[in-house]
Amino acid sequence: MTILVTGGAGYIGAHVVRLLQERGDAVVVVDDLSTGARSRVGDATVIELDVASAGAQEVLVAALREHQVDAVIHFAARKQVGESVARPTYYYQQNVGGLTNVLAAMEEAGVHKLVFSSSAATYGMPSVSVVEEKLHAEPINPYGETKLVGEWMGRAASRAWGLKFVALRYFNVAGSGWDDLGDPAVLNLVPMVLDRIERGEQPRLFGDDYPTPDGTCIRDYIHVLDLAKAHIAALQYLTHDSQPFDVFNVGTGTGASVREVIDGLAAVSGLTIDPIVEARRAGDPPQLVGSPERINEILGWHAEAGLEEILSSAWKAWQAGPRPIDV
């Protein structure tokens, strides 16, 4: 098969690209290289493009046709919750506009399979401790809204022109499947902590007054390689199943607090980590943990790594990168 991966040079995308290459697929990466790098995708064809830009649809149509693409995996998006609250129009422009171009190009080129990178942010502030896909999605920040709109767009396209669409609502991604594919952007908790330590600064902890046991947010942390394997499972589902539209949580069903993650990182690294407590960030719900029952049952996918393995792999990849920390 030939798979086009938007955002394929980024953190999660590069892991998926490597798995696709290992199983023998041809891969075309479309990425603006704002956080990713060509060196992360091996011998994949790379098209440097912001999928939300003017003219992107025409470039995508040409790529889909030239490479005879069988399916698309769509990662390319902006993903900072706080930034989305401050810049909602930009987030709609990038995330919804980008997907609009991708879907329009797929329809024009006759490509009918799409795996969509959605988010647990679609759930907002759920009233239950563990969320299932049937829960009403009510996002509380523009980032989550753009992901929910993306799901609606996929469902509409499946009805209108036969798109087969799977949305993966994943929770908090961390770790590294290979030392050279560590998280390159300082957007997620673990690299944010390590980035500040490497610069000689105290890490920041946003809010310790949430209604949780230790006052910090609880999240469902998933190893990036487990998440990448979920995308492969979703791709196989689209290839072999007649279901035109589906949504799956990708998580472990177990939560860990921000403070537990920081303490766990200290344990695996040998660092002393004493974060500064600051005010809550806008748009952060107290707890988000996902039920993996549907994806376990229907796709046969199961998370394998626990929190310690996630943090150990993240630390190892950081130390193998350009900014190792003296311990």
Active-site annotation, residues = 143
DSSP SS3 for 167: strand
With H, G, I as helix, E, B as strand and everything else as coil, classify residue 108: helix
Return all residues near 291 (Cβ < 8 A) that are at least 6 apart: 130, 131, 132, 133, 249, 251, 253
The answer to whether 29 touches 46, Cβ cutoff 8 Å, is: yes
- Separation between Cα atoms, residue 237 and residue 166, nearest integer Å: 9
The two beta strands, 245-250 and 164-170, are parallel
Confirm if 254 and 215 have CB atoms less than 8 A apart: no
Token digits for 70?
A: 């069988």
Helix runs in the chain, H state only: 11-22, 56-66, 81-86, 88-91, 97-109, 142-161, 189-198, 224-240, 258-269, 293-298, 307-320
Q: What is the DSSP string of 243-307?
A: -SEEEEEES-S--EEHHHHHHHHHHHH-----PEEEPPPTT--SEE-B--HHHHHHT-------H
Cβ distance 254 to 226 under 8 Å?
Answer: no
Token pair listed for 105: 């190009």
SS3 189: helix
